[in-house]
Structure 1
Amino acid sequence: MRGLESASVCTSSDDSRTLVTIAHAPLEQVTPEMLAWWYTHVSGTMSYAGRTWPRYLVWHPLDHIAYDVTSPGEVSAGTRLHVTEALGRDPEMLLDLHLTVETVDDEAAIFTKRVLGSSVVRLVYEFTAIRAGCQYTTHLTIGDTKPLGQLFLNSHAHRKLFPPAKLAAWIRHHVEEIGNLENFLPDLFTYRAPHEP
C-alpha cells in the first residue's frame, strides 16, 4: 500500500462544508478507460494469488468489508450502492455509506449521498491520461450549500459521518486503495473486460 506521503492533500472549509482534494501519485499502466470500467465492475470476484476473491477485498484487503449494488441492473447513473469499510482496520472507525452513482465515464466517477435532496457527501474521482498511465485526483465534499444543509445536515455529516479522526483515517485509507489499483487493475481489465463489457 502507498503511504500518505505519496499524495498531496488539501483540506479547506467553505460555508459549513469541508472540501478535501487529494492529488495521488500517478498510477502506472492504469488508463482512464480501465478506471471507468472498474467503477462499473467493482462487485464480483477475481482470481488473485491463486484463489478467487471478491474484487472489493482485493482493492483494499485490510479495510474493505462489503460493497453491495442495491438497485437492479448494471452500474450506471442512478445506481445505488452500499459501502462498508473499517478505516485503518479499526472497528471504531466504521464507515457505512449508502451512495448513488451520478456518472461514470473516461474522465470521472461521481458518487453522492443525499438526504432530503441535499448532498451531504459527494465524491468526485477525476482521471487524466498521462504518458506513464493516469493522473488521479479525488475531491470529497462534506456538506451542501442548500438551506437544509446549512441548517442541520452539514453539522450532522461532520459529526456522524466524518468527524475529524474518521476523516483523517479515510484520507489515509483512500490513498492506499487508489495506489493499490496499479497492482491488479491492468491485469483484471485485460482478462475480464472482454467478458464484462
Structure 2
Amino acid sequence: MLESIGKTEFKAESSAKWVDIYKHWTGSLRIQIQHDTIKDVTPEMMKWWFENLGKTVTWNGEEVSLYHLWHHRDHIAITPLTNPKNKTNKGFAVGAFSLIEEQFNDFHERISARVYTTKLDETEFTFLIKKWGLTVGDIKHYYSPSKDGIDFYAETLIGINIPLLGWVINWLVLPFIYSKQTAENWIRHNIEETGQSEKVIPYLYSSRNGD
C-alpha cells in the first residue's frame, strides 16, 4: 500500500524537536520525545487511530494491519485481549488489555508486551506495561491542535515502582532487559512511526466507512 502511494520513507531522528533519556535514582529509565508536528492530523483522528490499531484494511486484494502500515519495518500486530464494559476493543480501549508485538529489525530485538490502557481521548493515550503481575512500564502520549496539525509528545518510563525491592531490580536487572541502548533504539523507532502518522492516518481516516 505505502509503495503505491509513494510514502515509505521514514523521518530522520533529527526531525524531533528534542529527546531526552534520564536515569532516576530509583534505577528507572525515562525516555522523552517532543516530536515534529504531525501534519494534517487532528486529535480526533489520533484517538480513532489508537482505538482501531488492531483492525485490518484490504488493499489490492490483500489484508494488511493498520499497525503494520504505521511502521512497515518493525510493527507486527496489535491484538485486543479483553473488552471494557459495554464496549468492543478494536486495538486499545480504556480498561482493556492488548498485546503489542514488534521487531526492531535493525537491532534484532523482539518486543512482546501485555499492556493495560488507562486513558484514551482527544488529548492523551496512556497505557501500562504489565509483567509478572507488576507494572513495569508506563507509556504516555499527549497531543494537541497546532497550526498545521497536532503537537505530539511521547514519554516512556521503564522500571518497577516498589520501594527497596523495585530499586534493586531496576539497578541490577533492568539494564539487561531495557538498557540505555534499547532506549536509543526505541527513540529512533518512535520517531519513525510517529512520522508515518501524517502519511497514513488522514488517508485511512477519510476512507474508514468505505473500502
Q: Which TM class, normalised by the smaller chain length? A: 0.7 to 0.9
Q: Deviations over 1:65-107 (max 9, x none)?
A: 22211114324212111111111x2463111211111110001
* Distance (Å, rounded) in 1 between the aligned partners of 2:30 and 2:40: 29
Identify the range of structure 1 (91-100 vs 125-134) with the bigger mean alpha-carbon deviation. 91-100
Q: Which residue of structure 2 aligns with residue 170 of structure 1?
A: 186
Q: Distance in 2 between matches of 1:178 and 1:169?
A: 14
Matched AA of 1:9: V
**Cα distance, 1:119 vs. partner?**
2.7
Aligned with residue 114 of structure 1, among 111, 130, 143: 130
- For the residues of structure 2 that align with 1:128 and 1:165, how far apart are their CA atoms? 30
User: In structure 1, the residue corresponding to 2:156 is in which secondary structure?
Assistant: strand
- How far apart are 1:122 and its partner, in Å? 0.8
* 2:98 paired residue among 81, 99, 103: 81
Counterpart-to-counterpart distance in 1, 2:94 and 2:150: 23
Structure 1 outlier segments of 4+, above 6 Å: none
**More helix per residue: 1 or 2?**
1
Q: Within the alignment, does 1:24 sit opposite 2:24 as a pair? A: no
Structure 1 unaligned blocks of 5 or more: none
How far does residue 185 in structure 1 lie from its aligned partner after superposition? Answer: 0.3
What corresponds to 1:131 in structure 2?
147
The letter for the 2-side match of 1:43 is G
Which range moves more in the overlay, 122-131 or 9-18? 9-18
Q: d(CA) in 2 for partners of 1:49 and 1:154?
A: 50
Cα RMSD (Å) of the superposition?
2.1
User: C-alpha displacement at 1:49, in angstroms?
Assistant: 7.1
Tell me the residue number matched to 2:14. 5
1:159 corresponding residue in structure 2: 176
- List alignment gaps of at least 5 residues for structure 2: 1-9
TM-score norm. by structure 2 comes to: 0.82
Distance 1:143 1:154 in 2: 9
Q: Is the 8 A contact 1:118 1:146 kept in 2?
A: no
CA shift digits 1:41-64 (9 cap, x unpaired): 001112457754111111111111
In 1, the alpha carbon distance for the partners of 2:137 and 2:206 equals 33
Shift in alpha-carbon separation, 1:48–1:135, aligned structure 2, 3 A? farther
Aligned residues: 192
Alpha-carbon separation, structure 2, partners of 1:29 and 1:5: 21
Alignment match, 1:101 = 117
Corresponding position of 2:3: none
- Point out the structure with max Rg over C-alpha: 2
Aligned mates of 1:184, 1:85 — CA distance in 2? 19
**Quick one: percent identity of the two aligned structures?**
23
